[in-house]
Structure 1
């Protein structure tokens, strides 16, 4: 009986001690300081609160352990609500939401072919220039090769 209790206790401890990667999400304000210390590409996820597909990508793709590990290691990740009322300072400029429109920064980052689709995943290179924009949902199976190709291109 002692052995069974010991095995169960050890099993519980090992499960508790397992590393669980959670995605680290930064604000635009935090990024400028981080970029000076350790430049990395930025991944900006442009979403809205009413977008079920956006919510699904946050809860599945970005919470996938392999994806979150890559993102935490090689990128700074920012979630940008396209409808936020908050003024955002980024790269020496301030951006805000005009009344009844989408946020200025979301429009600049996510507009592709004169339209915005939610979600849009925007990759900025280390110099904070738009490298690519992915419109729509991407599952982790398709997102990982995309990230791998981006990282291989940078090296």
Structure 2
């Protein structure tokens, strides 16, 4: 039986990928009480890594799409953390977004909106969250965006 959140994802034409495996010596998520902490998810989609530098070879629209891909991976990790029952997700508490950008790029918040807007589209008010959106001189594997998240569960 498909839950409410997965039904909403299907309505949006989104299928969660398999949760990405960690690339080093860390865990992809940790549960502590009613909180799931998800490690940074890098921008990747069905066609592979979404790479590039904002302000150089990517514009805000492309960056927002990369951030949306990170949010999809975050939900995939939460689903695994919750034993497959995504409807145990109560709300998104915090996102921290890192944008691979040039020193003069100032639209990090507009890039991370790609993740924030997607989570609200999927979860409604439960998707509204606190967040940080910061620039990085580079990110792992040259990806455009990396986002970590904190989620409240039931």
Fold equivalence (TM over 0.5): no
Task: Indicate the structure (1 or 2) with the bigger Cα radius of gyration.
Answer: 1
Relative to the length of structure 2, the TM-score reads: 0.25
As a proportion of its length, which structure holds more helix?
1
Relative to the length of structure 1, the TM-score reads: 0.25
